[in-house]
Structure 1
Amino acid sequence: MPLATYKDLCIDACDAHALARFWADRLGFDAHLDDDGSARLSAGDRVIVWVNEVSEPKHVKNRLHLDIRAESLDAALATGAVVVDQQPRWTVLSDPDGQEFCVFESDGPVGDRFYELVWDVTGDVDAAHRVAQWWATVLGGKAVREEQWSYVDGIEGLPFESIVFQPVPEDKTTKNRIHIDVSTDDLGALVAEGAMPLREKGEDGIGWTVMVDPAGNEFCAFTPDD
Structure 2
Amino acid sequence: MPLATYKDLCIDAVDPHALSAFWGPLLGWESHPHEDGDSCLRVGEEVRVWVNRVPEPKTVKNRLHLDVRAASLQPALDAGAVVHDEQARWTVLLDPDGQEFCVFVRDESVVDPVYELVWDVTGGEGDALRVAQWWAETLGGAAVRDEGWSHVEGISGLPFESIVFQPVPEDKTAKNRIHVDVTTDDVGALVAAGATSVREKGDGGIGWTVMVDPAGNEFCAFTPD
Task: Please state which band the TM-score falls in when normalised by the shorter chain.
Answer: over 0.9
CA drift of 1:45 comes to 1.1
Unpaired segments ≥5 residues, structure 2: none
In structure 2, the residue corresponding to 1:207 is in which secondary structure?
A: strand
Does 1:116 pair with 2:116?
Answer: yes
Does 1:60 pair with 2:48?
Answer: no
Equivalent residue for 2:133? 133
Distance in 1 separating the partners of 2:112 and 2:7: 19
Q: Residue type of the partner of 2:103? A: V
Distance in 2 separating the partners of 1:184 and 1:111: 33
Q: Residue type of the partner of 2:112? A: D
Distance in 2 separating the partners of 1:92 and 1:16: 21
In structure 1, the residue corresponding to 2:207 is in which secondary structure?
A: coil
Q: Deviation string for 1:41-93 (max 9, x for gaps)?
A: 00011000000010000010000000001111001001110101111111110
Equivalent residue for 1:18? 18
Equivalent residue for 2:70? 70
TM-score, L = length of structure 2: 0.97
RMSD (CA atoms)? 1.4
Unpaired segments ≥5 residues, structure 1: none
Distance in 2 separating the partners of 1:40 and 1:189: 30
Q: Residue type of the partner of 2:99? A: Q
CA drift of 1:121 comes to 0.3
Distance in 2 separating the partners of 1:49 and 1:147: 30
CA drift of 1:108 comes to 2.1
Q: Deviation string for 1:14-66 (max 9, x for gaps)?
A: 00000000000110100000011000000011000000010000010000000
In structure 2, the residue corresponding to 1:200 is in which secondary structure?
A: strand
Q: Residue type of the partner of 1:141? A: G
In the TM superposition, structure 1's runs of 4+ consecutive aligned residues that sit over 3 Å from their partners are none
- Structure 1 24/202 Cα, relative in aligned 2: closer, same or farther at 3 Å? closer
Count how many residue pairs are aligned between Structure 1 and Structure 2. 225
TM-score, L = length of structure 1: 0.97
